[in-house]
Amino acid sequence: MGRPGVDLAYLVAAVAFILALKGLSSPRSARRGNLIGAAGAVLATVVVLTTEHLAHLPEILAVMVLGGGVGVLAARRVAMTAMPQLVALFNGVGGGAAALVAVLEFTGRGHQPLGTGAATVFAIVVGSVSFSGSALTFAKLQELMTTRPVVLPAGRWVSVGTAVAVLVAAAWLAATGGGSPATLVLVVLAVLALIFGVLFVLPVGGADVPIVISLLNAFTGLSVAASGYLLGNVLLIVAGTLVGASGTILTRLMAQAMGRPLTSTLFGAFQARDATAVTAGAADRPVRTGSPEDVAIMLGYARKVVLVPGYGLAVAQGQHALRELAELLVDRGVAVEYGIHPVAGRMPGHMNVLLAEANVPYDQLKEMDQANSEMSSTDVALVVGANDVVNPAARTSPGSPIYGMPILNVDQAQSIVFLKRSMRPGFAGIDNELLFDPKTTMLFGDAKDSLTKVVAAVKGL
Amino acid sequence: MTSGVGLLTIFVLAVFVGFEVVAKVSTMLHTPLMSGANAIHGVILVGAILVAGRASGAVELTLGLVAVALAAANMVGGFVVTDRMLEMFRGRSAPGQPRPAPSGSADRRGGS
């Protein structure tokens, strides 16, 4: 295949990626869209392997199989609940690869024009930030470290200083365009960018991490595009830019679903933090606890029940038990609906995926607005493993980190039942006043165990 | 088309396409869309293969091969994990229509 043939194949792959993104935007065509994207990627890989007269081909094929194999294994083995971490991880390694490509392409040549220098620096810095930032989001989501915002003493100045150092090193490299100390500067630049990536993610609270993953995803895309510019490869430019642009839009949409601007998501921890400690010492306050039988009676004799599933349900793998409970209640003539918060779980849409996995009928799933409009006529709101998405602090306390986030107004239901492991606050690390409300009943324990007991009790009514 | 301005043109046009394509997407699909976009930038594999294939010296080759392995994991893993997510939406019928029988495989996977 000659040069025009190669370019034509890249064009086909680029169109495949556009169709993939287009397809992924609608439920009907999503899966087909993803397959089209995969086909485009395979085509591009085969073309580059067969037409470029590469050295070291056996080694390249070997590590490709190795990397791809690890990717497939991780993708197939991971639990649905751990999906966000895995996406973060894949994104990080992609950013790392883009940065490495830029480093090698730059050192492999002599003196560079300004545009190429700038693209190199951009790819290295943004790719490195994406790599270390994604690694940290992984640590937060996997709960290897605290999920609360971490603000280092003078953290803001360390961040700003690192950013300035990155810019200075970048400008120097872009302007001088190579030369003998260039490799050293590149290494310094990459290390600074890695540090900056960590500082960038540290102050972000656990609940906001998915938005940051989406942003870093867009970063990696742009880094890939810059690498493509260096290599003069049109496909990399198109694919990287598509992801960069669509990722930016998606990040904004996600931030909107959380009900606040992106800037407060990223930098909110540096601002008002005083109000978070208001309910300290809450553990000593009385709460009303109930037995599974109490809960079964409340549910069994209700006219209308709204189920509010959260991440805790998914962790306990209690989706099937919840569906069984819902079916039992429907058989008893109780009207049952699921109220799904847009960010229930760990990512927007995550809970829909998890419930679909458990074969919950689609028509019982109500989006937040619809569920809220019916909440005041609801007898019992059963909150299973959720906390932040029903926390009224989002409406009532302006200092709270989640203030402004739309929530499911379960406090408007006649009574509320929380199935929770403990009084521990939710992922965002904020206490929930609702747990102490007189119309709230707590049933402590693993969500699946509790649900199974409640199911048994309902059967015995 | 490989001149600087030509590449810049492609870049700018791609920005607009990227904005347009995802302008309207329901929250339900945010997660798969992010994951799918994530897989697409795995095409950096093409770049990694190119630099690894031209590498001279052990250090360059090693770094190039590391890039190939990382990019391959990103690309292959990304598409597979997105497909697994979207598989969950399969068989979801519109309200009112009979649902297909629940597949046993989905249940088994729940515990993995």
Q: Is the pLDDT of residue B100 over 70?
A: no
Cα separation, A311 vs A325, in Å, equals 18
Secondary structure (DSSP) of B3-36: SHHHHHHHHHHHHHHHHHHTSS--GGGHHHHHHH
Stretch A245-270: mean pLDDT: 78
**How far is it, in rounded angstroms, from Cα B103 to Cα B89?**
12
Catalytic residue among A208, A388, A411, A431: A388
Inform me whether the pLDDT recorded for B112 exceeds 70. no
Beta strands in A321-429 (DSSP E): 335-340, 365-367, 380-384, 415-420
Does A38 reside within a domain?
Answer: no
- How many whole angstroms separate alpha carbon A395 and alpha carbon A434? 12
| Band of pLDDT at residue A89, cut at 50, 70 and 90 | very high
Q: Are residues A349 and A202 in the same domain?
A: no
Chain A residue numbers with beta carbons less than 8 Å from the beta carbon of B42 are: 41, 90, 94
Is A26's pLDDT higher than 50? yes
**Residue A261, SS3?**
coil
Q: How confident is the model at residue A180 (pLDDT cuts 50, 70, 90)?
A: low
Pairwise CB contact (< 8 Å): A245 & B15: yes
Q: Is residue A266 domain-shared with residue A285, that is, in the same domain? A: no
Cα A68 from chain centroid?
22
Mean pLDDT estimate for chain A: 86
For residue range A108-154, list pLDDT tens digits in order. Answer: 665 667 778 888 889 999 999 999 999 999 998 888 887 777 877 77
- Which two structure tokens, joined as six digits, stand for A204? 């972000």
CB B47 within 8 A of CB B90: no
Please indicate, yes or no, whether residues A215 and A121 belong to a single structural domain of this protein: yes
Counts for chain B of helices (H) and strands (E), in that order:
5, 0
In terms of pLDDT, which residue wins out, B26 or A276? B26
Of A7, A66, A225, the CB nearest to B11: A225
Partnered with residue A442 across adjacent β-strands are A289, A418
Residue where a domain stops, chosen among A270, A305, A329? A270
Residues of B whose CB is below 8 A from A70: 69, 73, 77
Q: Does A441 map to a domain?
A: yes
A153 lies in some domain:
yes
Q: Of A270, A301, A333, which closes a domain?
A: A270
Percent over 90 (pLDDT), chain B: 51
Contacts of A233 (CB under 8 A, 6+ apart): A10, B46, B47, B50
Q: Yes or no: say if B19 and A249 are a contact pair by the CB < 8 Å rule.
A: yes
Examine the pLDDT at A335 and tell me if it is beyond 80. Answer: yes
Please tell me the distance from the alpha carbon of residue A427 to that of residue A141, in angstroms, as a whole number. 9
Say yes or no to pLDDT of A179 above 90.
Answer: no
A285: in domain: yes
Q: What is the mean pLDDT of residues A199-212?
A: 83
Residues of B in contact with A356 (CB under 8 A): 88-89, 92
Check residues A7 and A170 and name the one with the higher pLDDT: A7
Instruction: Look at residue A424 in the predicted model and tell me its pLDDT.
Output: 73
pLDDT over threshold 70, residue A334 = yes
Mean pLDDT confidence for B21-31: 79
Confidence of residue A1 (pLDDT cuts 50, 70, 90): low
Same domain, A220 and A358: no
Query: If you search the block for the tokens 């088994």, which residue do you land on?
Result: B108
The residue ranges of every structural domain in chain B are 42-88
A122 and A187 in a single domain? The answer is yes
- CB-CB contact of A233 with A44 (8 Å): no
Residue A35 lies in a domain: no
Query: What confidence tens digit (pLDDT) does each residue in A323-333 have?
Result: 999 999 999 99
List CB contacts (< 8 A) between B35 and chain A.
Answer: 83, 87
Tell me which residue range forms the domain holding A294. 281-459
The DSSP result for A11-67, as a single string, is HHHHHHHHHHHHHHTSTTTHHHHHHHHHHHHHHHHHHHHHHS--SSHHHHHHHHHHH
pLDDT for position A166: 83
Quote the Cα angle for A144-A257-A130, to 5°: 45
- What is the average per-residue pLDDT within A208-220? 91
What pLDDT, in 10s, does the model give residues A52-78?
A: 889 999 999 999 999 999 999 999 998
Instruction: Please answer yes or no on whether B33 and A242 come within 8 Å at the CB atom.
Output: no
* Same domain? A186 vs A326: no
For the CA atoms of A263, A265, A270, A271, the dihedral, rounded to the nearest 10 degrees, stands at: 80
Out of A156-160, A250-254, A454-458, the most confident range is A454-458
* Subunit contact A96:B79, Cβ cutoff 8 A: no
B27: chain A residues, CB-CB within 8 Å: 253, 257, 342, 348-349, 367
Quick one: A240 and A329 in the same domain?
A: no
Exposure b/e, A217-250, CB count within 10 A at least 16 = b: bbbbbbbbbbbbbbbbbbbbbbbbbbbbbbbbbb
Instruction: Work out the minimum CA distance from A79 to partner chain B, whole angstroms.
Output: 6
Domain boundary pick from A270, A295, A311: A270
For residue A168, what pLDDT is reported? 86
Phi, psi of A306 (to 5 degrees): -110, 125
Q: Do B74 and A347 touch (CB under 8 A)?
A: no
Q: Is the per-residue pLDDT at A275 higher than 90?
A: no
Mutate to test the interface with B, among A6, A81, A87, A116 (most CBs of B within 10 A): A87
Q: Which range in A238-252, A354-368, A392-406, B18-32 is most confidently predicted, on average pLDDT?
A: A238-252
> How many domains, chain A?
2
Using the predicted structure, report yes or no on whether residue A425 has a pLDDT greater than 80: no
State whether residue A63 sits within 8 Å of chain B by CB: yes
Q: Which of residues 385-444 of A touch B (CB under 8 A)?
A: none
Same-domain pairing of A232 and A296 = no
* Residue among B2, B40, B53 minimizing CB distance to A60: B53
Q: Within a domain: residue A16?
A: no
Q: For A369-413, write each residue's pLDDT tens digit.
A: 888 998 989 999 999 988 888 988 888 888 777 777 888 999 999
A133 shares contact with chain B (CB less than 8 Å): no
Choose among A330, A385, A338: nearest CA to A365: A338
Q: Does the beta-carbon distance from B49 to A59 stay under 8 Å?
A: no
pLDDT surpassing 70 at residue A364: yes
- Shortest distance between the Cα of B51 and any Cα of chain A, in A, equals 7
Rounded Cα–Cα distance for residues A81 and A420 (Å): 17
Q: How big is chain B, counted in residues?
A: 112
Q: Is residue A11 part of a domain?
A: no
**Is there a single domain that holds both residue A266 and residue A321?**
no
Q: What is the largest CA-CA distance in chain B?
A: 65
Query: Which tens digits make up the pLDDT trace of B28-73?
Result: 788 889 999 999 999 999 999 999 999 988 999 999 999 999 999 9
Per-residue pLDDT, A88: 94
Nearest-CA distance B50 → chain A (Å): 7
CA–CA gap between residue A423 and residue A445 (Å, rounded):
11
Domain with A405 in it: what CATH number? 3.40.50.1220
| pLDDT for the residue numbered B87 | 82
CA–CA distance from A89 to each of A135, A339, A352 (Å)?
6, 30, 22
Instruction: Tell me the pLDDT band of A279, cut-offs 50, 70 and 90.
Output: very low
Question: What confidence score (pLDDT) does residue B80 get?
Answer: 96
Cα gap A457→A213, rounded to integer Å: 42
Whether A12 and chain B come into contact, CB under 8 Å, resolves to no
SS3 A193: helix
Identify whether A388 is a catalytic site residue: yes
Q: Is the pLDDT of residue A315 over 50?
A: yes
pLDDT at A258 over 90: no
Whether the predicted interface score ipTM is above 0.85: no
The Cα A425–Cα A276 span in angstroms is: 12
Q: Would residue A243 count as lying in a domain?
A: yes
> How many beta-carbon pairs under 8 angstroms link A with B?
395
**Cβ contact B19:A246 at 8 Å:** yes
**Dihedral of alpha carbons A128, A133, A136, A137, sign:** negative
Write the burial class of residue A376 (CB in 10 Å: 0-12 exposed, 13-18 middle, 19+ buried): exposed
Whole-number Å distance between alpha carbons of A393 and A405? 9
Helix (H, G, I), strand (E, B) or coil at A264: helix
The answer to whether B70 contacts A240, with C-beta atoms less than 8 Å apart, is no
